[in-house]
Structure 1
């Protein structure tokens, strides 16, 4: 009888170990960097894209937000005290921005999901399926390319011609 209990206990422990070993590893949420610009200056917020609201703890009226490493316009929700229009923009350096109209404080930010960093493969070579949105650019020739503004492209052409 004692050996039957030991065998059953051993099987229960082994099955628990095997089940635990087969579980997918928990990955950390992607980090999002946001720079909030107002007439009074700017402030930064770095938060995980974990689906939870993160408070800004800042009362400055925000004009625009730099989003250099995440598709924040699509994958984040910005809580403000009033109605606000959010418009995508790109500055002269190719930096992704979100313009707020009218300017107002951003109370909290909730981001979720992931995106593919610049220069990383955005299309699976084995399946041909897109891996996701590019964080700060667009998918071209199988890789995420950085945004380029018209001013940056004109400057680039001038330097090649010189």
Structure 2
């Protein structure tokens, strides 16, 4: 009876059915937040940077988009009903923005890739290799820095 178990078990091992992967499972796609602003109000989308189009399901004519936690100006595509100029900017608080001209609805958004959060290492200290683009700032002294320095709270 024991011999009948060993044969199927050894076949499964030979085919890799019961073996564990050699590398740990990768986390899912990075999540990002986009805030769409128009003269009539605003709406927010939280979505994965999974390379798939995510429909906005909103017909507001968008003037600009806040991208607080992702390099959306480089890693996203915005589908609109007609041609639009996208201009990158940073507001007075250091928040990344994408300006749309002329204002129009954004039908869908496709984002992919990852970026490095603020204050996290953007360069491997041992190899000197860049670990990625900073989500909302720039790489300085091996760490992602915000576009604007935080203001100290009044005492």
Q: TM-score with structure 1 length normalisation?
A: 0.86
| 2:25 pairs with 1:25 | yes
Higher helix fraction (1 or 2): 1
Aligned residue pair count = 150
Partner of 1:16: 17
Alpha-carbon shift at residue 17 of structure 1 (Å): 1.7
Paired with 2:82 and 2:121, the residues of 1 have a C-alpha distance of 39
Gaps of 5+ in 2: none
- Mapping for residues 72-87 of structure 1, pairs under 5 Å: 72-87=72-87
Partner of 1:136: 136
Q: Give the ranges of 4+ consecutive aligned residues of structure 1 lying more than 4 Å apart after TM superposition.
A: none
Partner of 2:90: 90
Show CA shifts across 1:25-59 (max 9, x none): 04111001000000001110000000110000000
What SS class does the counterpart of residue 42 from structure 2 fall into?
A: strand
**What is the root-mean-square deviation in Å for CA atoms of aligned residues?**
2.1
Paired with 1:82 and 1:9, the residues of 2 have a C-alpha distance of 60
Partner of 1:7: 6
Q: TM-score with structure 2 length normalisation?
A: 0.89
